[in-house]
Structure 1
């Protein structure tokens, strides 16, 4: 008798990983690299039995987001992390904001939904940047 025959049901499917979880794992591994590394190096260290093609896909997505860089090494690429997990989250937030027509409404809604501690932290961060002067010119301003 097989497992299916004993209970009449198939084994429970494996739960899917959370959005961005694999990207965060790959990025964390890549940040430990001593120099630009090939996909196989990342695959070996990320664990979880990920396929080589899955790791390439994740690295390509991270590259499109600006979280990693790549350079030619023969017929393939070697990869380097340029963002940490916080930077990756910030890139995702920026992408969402850039996709909306009414940036002011999105930002206002975001800020009003913050916890009091997060709001205080954001105000402190904005106050520090305002006092030090912006390190980059305002978008759309002269």
Structure 2
């Protein structure tokens, strides 16, 4: 996901599949090539909280974490960031529109609000 490191993205993937989860729960569900320490996952979750990607609630002595947004909202936010950093968002959108499948084009058409026609010429 745009704006996240590899481990942060893996943690978010775990949380998008099941939540709320505590650090140990996330650690048990993470599929990484190397064994991670509890403190590593705790630091990643703390960083994600600081960045606004997750919310947390204290349950006893440990925090329980949930995504602050859905995967789809995060993808839309990433797209917005790409457009903002492109230098020419209009050109990027035009290239995207040309590459969209017929299904994607139809979804875009249906989701955009229709402008009301003025009754005055």
TM norm. shorter chain > 0.5: yes
Q: Does 1:88 align with 2:55?
A: no
1:123 matched to 2:105? The reply is: yes
Gaps of 5+ in 1: 1-18, 135-142
Q: Is the 8 A contact 2:58 2:64 kept in 1?
A: yes
Instruction: Name stretches of at least 5 consecutive residues in structure 2 with no aligned partner.
Output: 115-121
TM-score (norm 1): 0.54
Q: Aligned Cα RMSD in Å?
A: 3.1
Structure-2 change in CA distance of 1:43 and 1:109 (3 Å): same
- The higher relative CO (CA closer than 8 Å, separation ≥ 6) is in 2
In structure 2, do the counterparts of structure 1 residues 127 and 110 end up closer, same or farther at CA, with 3 Å as the change threshold?
closer
TM-score (norm 2): 0.60
- Please tell me whether Structure 1 or Structure 2 has the larger radius of gyration of its CA atoms: 1
Aligned length: 106
